[in-house]
Amino acid sequence: MRATTARLSLAFLLTFILAIAGSVIAVKQHDFKKCHQSSFCRRNRQLADRAAEVPEWNAPYALDPASISVDSGVLTGAVLKSINGGAETVELPLTVSFLASGVARVTLDEKKRQLGEIELNNDRIRKERYNEAEKWSIVGGLDADSSIDSSAIFANDEVTVVKYGPAKNFEAVITHSPFSLKFIRDGEEQVVLNDRGLINMEHWRPRDSTPEEGVDQDGLFDESFSGKSDTKPRGPESVGLDISFIGYDHVFGIPEHASPLSLRETRGGGDGAYDEPYRLYNLDVFEYEFDSPMSLYGAIPFMQAHKKGGDVAVFWLNGAETWIDVVKKRAEKTTTQTHWFSESGLLDVFVFLGPTAEENIKSYSQLTGTTALPQTFSIAYHQCRWNYLSQDDVAQVDAKFDEHDIPYDVIWLDVEHTDGKRYLTWDEANFPEPEKMLEALDKKQRKLVNIVDPHIKKDDDYHVYQGAKANDVIVKDNNGNNYEGWCWPGSSVWVDFFKPKAVDWWKSLMTYDAYKGSAKNLYVWNDMNEPAVFSGPEITMPKDNIHEGGWEHRDIHNINGMVFHNATALALMNRDGDKPLRPFVLTRSFFAGTQRISASWTGDNLGNWEHLAVSIPMVLSNGIAGMTFTGADVGGFFGNPSPELLARWYQVGAFYPFFRAHAHIDTKRREPWLAGEPWTGYMKEAIRGRYRLLPTWYTAFRRASVDGMPVLRPMYLAFPDVEEGFGIDDQFFLGDSGILAKPVTKEGVDSVSVWLGDEQPYYDYSNYDVHQGKGQTIVYAPIDKTPMLIQGGNIFVRRDRSRRSSPAMKYDPFTLIVALDKDGNAKGRFYLDDGETFDYNGGAYVERTFTFDGKKGTLRSDSLNDPVPAEYLKNMERVRVEKVIIVGANGQQLGDVHAVDVLQGGKKWETEVEYVKSGDGKARVLTVRDPAVRITEDWTLQLRVGKNEL
Ligand code: NOJ
């Protein structure tokens, strides 16, 4: 035992020395599997090769027509896989559910495993295929369309056809032999499952069975990587399927990868193709590459396909290691062929037929949930580093922000704040009075976030370890003993949050009494929850570890991080009894569903220009897959960015939904004031710009929380019919605001080329220069400026007074920016609530539309929420609009306005205007001064032109 510990210590020391050396910055490829080193990946790719080589390849899978029945929207049947040259068959129960939302769900299981008629070499393990991904990931949208029954289908010996969807314009054509499924919309084929015959349910077989013809036997029953073995008690059990998107050139999604938004080919070498499949296996990848299909910390197996005129999507519900190959077949129209394979579990795939991306995102959100509406502070600016070393350090950093007049809301403490990496404790020498520290922050309405990692130091005197042992909530190894591995604190154990009692126990650890020194303004950062295990295979947990219910870690690996941050969020809510505030938890690992609970970030990026650039497609990709509350470490985690890079990073960061600066322990300090002027000023302006736009960000988050639309919108969502935009991933719209940003991500640049997807006028955000005409336009972007345009036709809201933190802005007045379209009209939407409680669920919010009618010369504000609880109205009564800036391209009307009538609550008063004449490509700008309308009530502004009202 001692020898093992000594070996581990040495290994840890070496890892640590290498980790901090920092001089050679490159991912350690050899720590992570390539496809050929993962036996099921190899086998599934080999199957694809065989299928491509054999003319007329047919998958040996057939749906038995006699087994088919349809009831209340669900088709069931038996797919038979023939093995041993047809001598035997394996029964695979099939369900195809036609959901009321128009989504179809296809599942395939394995009868023998279902019935437990198999033998395993480890009786602690469940015999079934893992079938609980749904339990953790899905929260709704599963009701089947009960109007579909056997009378609604057409069937003969060869095919079964089901018409479905809200308008019954979708069809599922199930070919019985070989088994395949075609999904048709309005008579056109869209998605085909098993188009290429790559379906593969690796059935259970005894170790001594006759090898399947053509199947690589290496690694079927055990395999090892980097000297670490995997006992694979259930033998091979991967599930694979090819999914073709007919006529679709672009596919997006399946984060998390540091790669472009439009997914590249992974086989067959197209333009910029990768040679490895995209991998989804949550991992702690040290110094990851900026252009790679390698796995990172999170996994969302949701893919969208987009073309002019329509969208489709698939959601592959599986929490095990998964790989996805992408190949494009270019003919008159390109078809994207994808090939998915997971190591274990059910085949469980949802097919979305749109017809728009928005509808697919909405349906996906119905299934896995929408982004939780965040507290306002959490979408403001966060200051982090590994580490702020003491409470004096925290106080000094905090004071410096005020000294430099830079707003910030949250300061973060990394692992060093604890007593020897024992989470939920404090290093008493450096943080002797955490209550006082939290109180001082609270006085300025600021928050603290403490890191709480999932590894628990194995120390009999540590209350968390004692509790984990006493409650028997520790993940087991394959022998049923508490699993021990190595992480920051040395020898550690991991809590199995799949156990309900682990969640209850975790809650009890975070009450204000139990978590000494904690307070209401303390929130939590769950890092390392892939989980990262320094001594484990691929720096994570062995796959044959055992969780609640006898499931192997293999089955739930990608879900594991989510159950941890879920427990933390529940614990934070629990500490405030029946009046909880919205929890804030940052998680590194995520899965489909994390968006309901936590924010995430893109992990340990590098402080270089390439990583700055790739952070944008990464954040966009997370966003379209539901996980919109994300950002990258501003400045880059590793390395020391130049002042220029840092300033540009702040400008990009001000557009991350989650905006946090962070840095590795070995980097130089880089808080915004340290670079000195002029750099500090640039960073300060980027942060202040974010604060001014917080109401618009919050409105975008509200939309995300209602129907899943991402806070940042890539061009294919904004201009779904304009093909040139589909591959663009370095510019984006902020929600529905019309703000189009293309932050600078290159060194020494003072202009960028922005792509415009329509013929509307676009106004430069800072000086109202007009850009018009579809295609590229050059926007001037010296170092003090983020290239931002406002698309004509939109109205958004700002709060222009600078405060030290976002809660201090609560009653500040608003400024409306009205950017007119080419016909002189504009509209917008606005959402506001208390920004911290759940009272909005009871209607305590303001939601309004703004409409500018160019012909009538009116700007109206109309409520979308009626009635609003009186208490909230009273509280917000004093909040006014202090300025309306109307930006018009040609603005004939705007030129002659000399006053404005204001109408609210049956009263009418007049206010002044001021306008700036257009000149040299600038828009006319009319400023309505202090209309003083209450934000909580409807109002109208009537522009007066000459002697007449317009
Ligand atoms: C890894 C995280 O990605 C990083 O942000 C953090 O600073 C370190 N762990 C130390 O906790």
Residue range 213-240, pLDDT digits in tens: 889 999 999 999 999 999 999 999 999 9
Assess whether the C-beta atom of 416 lies below 6 angstroms from ligand 1: no
Give the model's pLDDT for residue 212: 85
Q: Contact 713/733 with Cβ under 8 angstroms?
A: yes
Residue range 442-455, pLDDT digits in tens: 999 999 999 999 99
Q: pLDDT exceeding 70 applies to what percent of the chain?
A: 96
Give the model's pLDDT for residue 759: 97
Whole-angstrom distance, CA of residue 335 vs CA of residue 354: 17
Whether 727 shows a pLDDT value over 60: the answer reads: yes
Q: Which two tokens stand for residue 834?
A: 């208390």
Could you tell me which residues come within 8 angstroms of residue 60 by beta carbon, excluding any fewer than 6 positions away?
Answer: 81, 82, 83, 86, 178
Query: Is 676 exposed, middle or buried, given 0-12, 13-18 or 19+ CB atoms closer than 10 A?
Result: exposed
Query: Is 925 exposed, middle or buried, given 0-12, 13-18 or 19+ CB atoms closer than 10 A?
Result: buried
CA 898 to centroid of ligand 1, rounded, Å: 58
Average pLDDT rounded to a whole number, residues 184-205: 97
Give the model's pLDDT for residue 893: 58
530 given a catalytic annotation: yes
Residue range 684-709, pLDDT digits in tens: 999 999 999 999 999 999 999 999 99
Assess whether the C-beta atom of 655 lies below 6 angstroms from ligand 1: no
Residue range 354-405, pLDDT digits in tens: 999 999 999 999 999 999 999 999 999 999 999 999 999 999 999 999 999 9
> Which residue of 284, 296, 527 sits with most ligand 1 atoms within 8 Å of its CB, as the best mutation to test the pocket?
527
Give the model's pLDDT for residue 269: 76
Whole-angstrom distance, CA of residue 629 vs CA of residue 650: 17
CA 721 to centroid of ligand 1, rounded, Å: 41
Assess whether the C-beta atom of 632 lies below 6 angstroms from ligand 1: no
Give the model's pLDDT for residue 210: 87
Whole-angstrom distance, CA of residue 873 vs CA of residue 881: 15
| CB atoms near residue 150 (< 10 Å) | 11
Omega before 301 within 30 of 0, i.e. cis: no
Lowest mean pLDDT among 3-17, 265-279, 613-627: 3-17
Assess whether the C-beta atom of 415 lies below 6 angstroms from ligand 1: yes
Assess whether the C-beta atom of 831 lies below 6 angstroms from ligand 1: no
Whole-angstrom distance, CA of residue 230 vs CA of residue 344: 14
Q: Where residue 9 falls among pLDDT bands split at 50, 70, 90?
A: very low
Q: Contact 942/857 with Cβ under 8 angstroms?
A: yes
Distances (CA, A) of 96 to 104, 154, 156, 202, 763: 7, 15, 18, 20, 50
Whether 554 shows a pLDDT value over 50: the answer reads: yes
Task: Specify the 3-state DSSP secondary structure of 186.
Answer: coil
Give the model's pLDDT for residue 891: 63
Q: Which two tokens stand for residue 656?
A: 């991350």
Q: Contact 212/83 with Cβ under 8 angstroms?
A: yes
Q: Where residue 19 falls among pLDDT bands split at 50, 70, 90?
A: very low
Whether 522 shows a pLDDT value over 90: the answer reads: yes
Q: Contact 85/101 with Cβ under 8 angstroms?
A: no
**Residue of 416, 604, 633, 847 marked active site:** 604
Average pLDDT rounded to a whole number, residues 476-498: 98
Which atom of ligand 1 is nearest to 664's Cα? 7
Residue range 555-574, pLDDT digits in tens: 999 999 999 999 999 999 99
Give the model's pLDDT for residue 892: 60
DSSP annotation of 854: T
Assess whether the C-beta atom of 414 lies below 6 angstroms from ligand 1: yes
| CB atoms near residue 625 (< 10 Å) | 30
Assess whether the C-beta atom of 530 lies below 6 angstroms from ligand 1: no
Average pLDDT rounded to a whole number, residues 253-265: 98
Residue range 136-186, pLDDT digits in tens: 999 999 999 999 988 889 999 999 999 999 999 999 999 999 999 999 999
Give the model's pLDDT for residue 890: 65
CA 286 to centroid of ligand 1, rounded, Å: 10
Assess whether the C-beta atom of 532 lies below 6 angstroms from ligand 1: no
Residue range 828-839, pLDDT digits in tens: 999 999 999 999
Q: What is the dihedral of CA 366, 369, 373, 378, to 10 degrees?
A: -150
| CB atoms near residue 218 (< 10 Å) | 10
Quickly list DSSP for 876-897: HTT-EEEEEEEEESS-HHHHTE
Assess whether the C-beta atom of 110 lies below 6 angstroms from ligand 1: no
| CB atoms near residue 636 (< 10 Å) | 28
CA 468 to centroid of ligand 1, rounded, Å: 24
Q: Which residue has the tokens 């350690």?
A: 28
CA 19 to centroid of ligand 1, rounded, Å: 12
Quickly list DSSP for 750-782: -EEEEEE-SSSEEEETTT-BEEESSEEEEEE--
DSSP annotation of 449: E
Could you tell me which residues come within 8 angstroms of residue 344 by beta carbon, excluding any fewer than 6 positions away?
Answer: 129, 130, 234, 237, 238, 239, 320, 552, 554, 555
Average pLDDT rounded to a whole number, residues 903-931: 89
Average pLDDT rounded to a whole number, residues 847-865: 96
Give the model's pLDDT for residue 633: 98
Give the model's pLDDT for residue 14: 44
Give the model's pLDDT for residue 85: 85
Q: Which residue has the tokens 């093992």?
A: 4
CA 527 to centroid of ligand 1, rounded, Å: 7
Sheet hosting strand 732-734, strand order edge to edge = 712-713, 732-734, 739-741, 788-791, 761-764, 770-772
**Residue of 242, 343, 453, 530 marked active site:** 530
Give the model's pLDDT for residue 412: 98
Residue range 535-548, pLDDT digits in tens: 999 999 999 999 99
Assess whether the C-beta atom of 284 lies below 6 angstroms from ligand 1: no
Which atom of ligand 1 is nearest to 451's Cα? 11
Chain-wide mean pLDDT for the chain?
94
CA 665 to centroid of ligand 1, rounded, Å: 9
Whether 3 shows a pLDDT value over 70: the answer reads: no
Q: Where residue 897 falls among pLDDT bands split at 50, 70, 90?
A: confident
